Amino acid sequence: MNPKDKGKDNMKKIKNILSDMTSKDGNKDFDLLFLVDATGSMGSYIISAKEETKNISKELRRLYPERNFKYGYIFYRDPIDEYSDTHEIIDLTDNVNSIPEKIANIRATGGGDLPEDWAGAYKLVNEKISWRDGEKVIIHLADAGAHGKIFTLNDKYPDEERKLIQELEKCALKKINIFGYVIEEDARNSFNECSKIYRNKGGFFEVSDFCPPEMKEKMNVMNVAPMMDMNPMMNPPLHMNGMNMMNMMGNMNNINMMGHPMMNSSAPMMNMNMNMNMSMNNMQMMNNMQFQSNSISSVARILNK
């Protein structure tokens, strides 16, 4: 099932399952916080998170008009290792139209070593987010794990392990439901360990792959293939001999065999750039659809408990 169909299926499932939008105690408040790794490697997912929030909120409001939704963000980095890094917070709000402006300038930067400051991120969850008494959900997107040896075996900041465990226990007491989405394998062990800790405290913490392996492979092919096809130096014809290679290199330097400038020598490079841009756009569109599908599906799981 492709991301678009999966998204439609999830939304249909929500609509069919839920006829009574009130929780057991009659509280209709629903707080949804996106906890997003904002270090340098997360560029495309930051864009997805920023672009799809409005679509997600509109769809949830359309399906469940009785619910009082609020949305917030924590974009975290790694000031533990990269001291210039800072976290960025957008507290819960029901004014969805204000969010794009608030997050417009957030970029994927920094990161230092491989693990990131999960302890600091969850500390902000507990101290800086204005949670209400209704349902509470965190959607955590990460491609790198947490500091602390049980989370990342070769980590050099062992004290961070205890700090993260304490913050997770506080979240469990608040009855915050957490969905951890593994973007890259480096994050998997941290998510699994956090889930064990959380469940031992009676909390709900589910770990899933953000992008199924088969889709990730397609995205990689989409990203690389156009560049290979359009650049003869990366994918030379099998019959190319030394003279042909010299001729091609001459053409690439805008000079033909007679020493005159090649008027159209830039066209292959322009075509290659255009195809690479199209590939990146396709990958971004798949990221956006997957992010929207995962977010709505996660909300449905809590509403269906």
Report, as an integer, the average pLDDT of 207-232: 57
Q: Which one is predicted more confidently, 269 or 255?
A: 269
List C-alpha distances in Å: 244 to 135, 220, 227, 247. 67, 31, 21, 5
Which helix or strand (DSSP H or E) is residue 34 part of? Answer: strand 29-37
pLDDT higher than 70, residue 64: yes
Residues 140, 227: one domain?
A: no
- pLDDT of amino acid 265: 47
pLDDT higher than 50, residue 82: yes
* Residue closest to 73 by CA, chosen among 64, 81, 51: 51
Residue 44 belongs to some domain of the structure: yes
* DSSP-derived 3-state class of residue 235: coil
Residues 170, 57: one domain?
A: yes
Structure confidence at residue 11 as a pLDDT band (50, 70, 90): very low
Lowest mean pLDDT among 110-119, 133-142, 235-244, 287-296: 235-244
Residue 296 belongs to some domain of the structure: no
Q: What is the pLDDT of residues 26-45, one digit of tens each?
A: 789 999 999 999 998 888 88
Residue 14 belongs to some domain of the structure: no
Whichever domain contains 200, its CATH number is 3.40.50.410
Residue ending a domain, choose from 160, 187, 210: 210
Q: What φ, ψ does residue 136 adopt, rounded to 5°?
A: -130, 130
Residues 191, 132: one domain?
A: yes
Structure confidence at residue 126 as a pLDDT band (50, 70, 90): very high
Residue 18 belongs to some domain of the structure: no
Residues 92, 186: one domain?
A: yes
Residues 70, 203: one domain?
A: yes
Q: What tokens were used for 132?
A: 């209400």
Residues 225, 153: one domain?
A: no
Structure confidence at residue 277 as a pLDDT band (50, 70, 90): low
Measured CA to CA, the distance from residue 221 to residue 4 in angstroms comes to: 19
- pLDDT of amino acid 218: 56
Residues 55, 102: one domain?
A: yes
Residues 110, 190: one domain?
A: yes
* DSSP-derived 3-state class of residue 158: coil
Q: What is this structure's pTM?
A: 0.71
Report, as an integer, the average pLDDT of 45-60: 79
Q: Which one is predicted more confidently, 292 or 201?
A: 201
Lowest mean pLDDT among 65-79, 85-99, 245-259, 274-288: 245-259
Structure confidence at residue 59 as a pLDDT band (50, 70, 90): confident
Q: Which one is predicted more confidently, 201 or 281?
A: 201
Residues 128, 239: one domain?
A: no
266 lies in which domain range? Answer: 217-277
The number of distinct structural domains making up the chain is: 2
Residues 134, 105: one domain?
A: yes
Structure confidence at residue 268 as a pLDDT band (50, 70, 90): low
Residues 83, 194: one domain?
A: yes
